[in-house]
Amino acid sequence: MLAINTNVSAGIAKNAIQRNEGQMTQAMERLSTGKRINSAADDAAGLAIASKFSNQIAGLDQAARNANDGISMIQTAEGAYVEVGDMLQRMRQLAVQAASETYTTSDRTALDLEFQALVDEVVTIADNTQWNGANLLDGTAGTSGTVKIQSGANAGQTVDVAFGTLARTIATGTVTDTSSTVQTIMLSSSAVAVGDVLTFKLNDSVNTSAVSVTLVANDVTRLTTNATTALTTPTDSAVGYQAGGVTAATQTLNSGGGTTVALAGTSNTGEFTVTVGAGHADFAISDVRVNRGTGTLNTNIQALQMKSITSQTYANAAITALDSAISSVNEQRASYGSYISRFEHASQNLTNISQNMVASRSRIEDADYASESTELARTQIVQQAATAMLAQANASKQFVLELLQ
């Protein structure tokens, strides 16, 4: 039948052109973006899986960077410990030198000047070693000296790095009452707390000792000894000095030289009073400080703060303390080494996982250029043919009009 109101052939050609146009546009889009999936309409399930992979890849890459940051942080701390170890070795050398009877008292005093300067520098390193603005060795890094490194792409995948505490000096003290039998220590900061350790040296013509006072609850002070010449337990048990600590805020001890020492204080005022027995007019207090920190290394460094090498006896005691401190430093450095090794392997593993996920995502969402190029060429040829056929369909109706002439 010949009709002019409806051109079925032209409609068929037009639909073919529109359908082919969509296919050609999709092929061009895939070739332009390099992706097979450019919208959810292309492959909803594939898009969801690829998006999850993208989240994991970003998390893994950041975790690898975190691990490398952890390595840098640990290396900073270890570098400080290398210097501390070198100084402790030098201090031990000085102590061994002072322990020899070939040196006079004045010689040992001169040696002690360098010894004490090195002790102070150890504390300075503890107070000032930082990474990204955070102190590492004073017990304040992270939570109580332990830093969590996020080493995975998901929540809770962390590694706890224990940086330890060298020795954190939170306050120093001055003597405000210098009378012969009573001396009052006023701390530079009243923010002392339970567990802080107040240390000071007692000096008189008979004896040089060191006292360590650990603050406990209810403003009660527990006296322990950390002395070049040890304090001894009083013979009178009524004073309350016991192996497990004392039970009152004021306690009395006898020094090795026979000096009676009574100490009273409260942790909320930062003020402590030291009283000595009669017959010690030249009694003096020196090197007052408050330390805060936990662990064997911290304890060993605090012990060194109270040592001197001004006599053969003191030098031998210092050697023993230094051996413990050097051992603690070596143990901490070994711990750092294990963390560094762990993070290096973790970083490599995270990188490998990320690369495998990138490959998996690529197989899902990336375009096959050979296939898409072939598809584009096909659609272009079909488009040309369909356009020609549409022209032929439109031209066929012109022949019908010729019958009316």
267, 194 contact by CB (below 8 A): yes
Cβ partners under 8 Å of residue 55, min gap 6: none
Per residue in 340-370, pLDDT (tens digit) is 999 999 999 999 999 999 999 999 988 888 8
Tell me what percent of the residues of the chain surpass a pLDDT of 90: 30
Lowest mean pLDDT, pick from 66-70, 271-275, 328-332, 377-381 = 271-275
Per residue in 156-167, pLDDT (tens digit) is 999 999 887 776
Say what the pLDDT of residue 170 is. Answer: 76
390, 14 contact by CB (below 8 A): yes
Residue range 84-110: mean pLDDT, rounded: 94
202, 255 contact by CB (below 8 A): yes
Provide the token pair at 161: 């790095």
Say what the pLDDT of residue 209 is. Answer: 64
Per residue in 208-235, pLDDT (tens digit) is 566 767 666 544 455 555 444 444 444 3
Asked if the model's pLDDT at residue 101 lies above 50, the reply is: yes
Among 351, 52, 338, 291, smallest CA distance to 170 is for 291
Per residue in 239-255, pLDDT (tens digit) is 333 333 344 455 555 55
Type of residue at 228: T
Cα separation, 198 vs 291, in Å, equals: 7
DSSP letter at 370 equals: H
Q: Is the torsion defined by CA of 226, 317, 127, 121 positive or negative?
A: positive
Lowest mean pLDDT, pick from 44-48, 96-100, 292-296 = 292-296
In angstroms, the Cα distances linking 328 to 32, 88, 207, 331, 337 are 62, 11, 30, 5, 14
Cα separation, 307 vs 310, in Å, equals: 9
Confidence of residue 114 (pLDDT cuts 50, 70, 90): very high
**Cross-strand partners of 286:** 201
Say what the pLDDT of residue 403 is. Answer: 63
Per residue in 67-76, pLDDT (tens digit) is 999 999 999 9
Longest Cα–Cα distance of the chain, Å, equals 148
Cα separation, 105 vs 108, in Å, equals: 5
Say what the pLDDT of residue 243 is. Answer: 31
Comparison of pLDDT for 86 and 251, the residue scoring more: 86
The helices-and-strands tally (H runs, E runs) of the chain is: 6, 13
220, 247 contact by CB (below 8 A): yes
Say what the pLDDT of residue 275 is. Answer: 74
Report which secondary-structure segment, H or E, holds 216. none
Type of residue at 320: T
Domain ranges of the chain: 168-292
Asked if the model's pLDDT at residue 32 lies above 80, the reply is: yes
Say what the pLDDT of residue 92 is. Answer: 95
Say what the pLDDT of residue 333 is. Answer: 92
Residue range 121-128: mean pLDDT, rounded: 86
Q: By CB neighbour count within 10 A (0-12 exposed, 13-18 middle, 19+ buried), where does 91 fall? A: buried
Query: Look-up: residue for tokens 């600590």?
Result: 245
Residue range 14-38: mean pLDDT, rounded: 85
Comparison of pLDDT for 127 and 111, the residue scoring more: 111
